[in-house]
């Protein structure tokens, strides 16, 4: 058992597959953190790009351990990382995302100051494949109802948690591979308290090979996750109604094959189910077709700023 005066070991698990152009930035962002002790556990799925060459560059860095072998995807890789990790506290960082300075210290400070917290998270910055900033989140203070009804996700790149709790809950589940992180956070949230930290902690890289491009699969797994979340089914009507609103918002965001007007109707129905969420909803999300338009505007804005700068 850790003595009260000792600093807890933090294990950062990195599932990896063919992200050689990004993973060095990920690793360097961890090594540059001002917190120790920490360990990095990279679980690579037998990458065929330059990933292994990059990993070999860190063979002499004691804080980094890695393995490369065929696996069954990201869920399998993360669970292997849980099995190999030795820390009291942990995080899962994607091999194409990275931490901002002070992120680990902020996560550890929050978790060690309140033993009742199961996990904490902060805001994230979004960048493109060249590292150009696209925007930043400004997430509301945490409440389970808000996450289920409005946000529908917790940013994995900025989340820190108790490893024992993740193991107790069985880690990531194979049945919801496109919602496995959200699934674990919600199962944790029904077992322990959580908190949103008021700081920018990580950067998420937006690029064409992201899993986020598979909207229909994300929507499928999100709905399956809620269907299988037993504590939610046993909750009161308010939380179950909030979850119904969240389903509609996810369908509006990812079920684009139904058309713009269908997405708009889903947003309106979500507000009817959960009126309290109106104060947290982006008003522009109620405009039919706003999500694809916003994406095009972001591309245009990035091009303009690059030309200027």
What is the C-alpha separation between 245 and 301, in angstroms, rounded? 32
Among the residue ranges 37-46, 167-176, 274-283, the one predicted with the least confidence is 274-283
Which pLDDT score is estimated for 282? 66
- Catalogue the E-assigned strands of 28-187: 38-44, 64-68, 89-92, 98-99, 117-128, 133-136, 159-162
In sequence order, what E strands does the chain have?
10-16, 38-44, 64-68, 89-92, 98-99, 117-128, 133-136, 159-162, 193-206
pLDDT tens across 152-210, in order? 899 999 999 999 999 999 999 999 999 999 999 999 999 999 999 999 999 999 887 77
- At residue 5, does pLDDT exceed 80? no
Answer whether residue 1 shows pLDDT above 50: no
Q: What is the pLDDT of residue 279?
A: 64
Q: What pLDDT sits at residue 259?
A: 66
pLDDT band at 115 (very low <50, low <70, confident <90, very high): very high
Q: Residue 3: what pLDDT?
A: 47
Cα distances (angstroms) measured from residue 232 to each of 138, 203, 225, 243:
26, 31, 10, 8
Residue 301 has pLDDT above 90, yes or no: no
State how beta strands 193-206 and 64-68 pair: unpaired
The pLDDT score that the predictor gives to residue 88 is: 99
pLDDT at residue 299 in the model? 66
| Whole-number Å distance between alpha carbons of 261 and 306 | 34
Residue with the bigger pLDDT between 258 and 1: it is 258
Return mean pLDDT, the chain. Answer: 91
Please give the share of the chain, as a percent, with pLDDT higher than 70.
86
For the chain, list the domains and their CATH numbers.
10-209 (3.90.550.10), 235-308 (no CATH)
Cis amide bond preceding 298, omega within 30: no
């Amino acid at each position: 058992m850790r003595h009260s005066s000792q600093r807890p070991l933090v294990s950062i698990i990195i599932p990896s597959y063919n992200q050689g152009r990004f993973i060095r930035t990920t690793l360097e962002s961890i090594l540059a953190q001002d917190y120790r002790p920490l360990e990095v556990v990279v679980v690579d799925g037998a990458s065929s790009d330059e990933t292994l060459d990059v990993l070999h560059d860190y063979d002499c860095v004691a804080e980094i351990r890695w393995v490369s072998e065929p696996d069954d995807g990201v869920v399998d890789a993360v669970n292997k990382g849980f099995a190999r990790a030795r820390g009291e506290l942990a995080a899962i960082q994607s091999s194409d995302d990275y931490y901002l300075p002070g992120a680990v210290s902020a996560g550890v400070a929050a978790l060690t100051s309140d033993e009742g917290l199961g996990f904490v998270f902060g805001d994230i910055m979004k960048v493109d494949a060249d590292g150009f900033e696209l925007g930043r989140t400004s997430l509301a203070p945490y409440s389970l109802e808000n996450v289920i009804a409005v946000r529908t996700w917790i940013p994995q790149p900025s989340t820190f948690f108790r490893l024992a709790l993740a193991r107790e809950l069985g880690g990531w589940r194979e049945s919801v591979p496109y919602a496995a992180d959200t699934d674990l956070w919600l199962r944790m949230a029904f077992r322990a308290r959580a908190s949103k930290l008021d700081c920018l902690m990580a950067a998420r890289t937006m690029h064409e090979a992201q899993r986020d491009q598979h909207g229909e699969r994300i929507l499928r797994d999100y709905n399956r996750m809620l269907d299988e979340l037993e504590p939610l089914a046993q909750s009161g009507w308010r939380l179950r109604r909030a979850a119904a609103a969240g389903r509609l918002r996810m369908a509006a965001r990812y079920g684009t094959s139904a058309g713009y007007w269908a997405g708009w109707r889903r947003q309106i129905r979500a507000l009817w189910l959960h009126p309290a969420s109106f104060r947290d909803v982006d008003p522009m999300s109620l405009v039919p077709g706003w999500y694809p338009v916003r994406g095009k505007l972001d591309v245009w804005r990035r091009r303009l700023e690059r030309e200027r700068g």
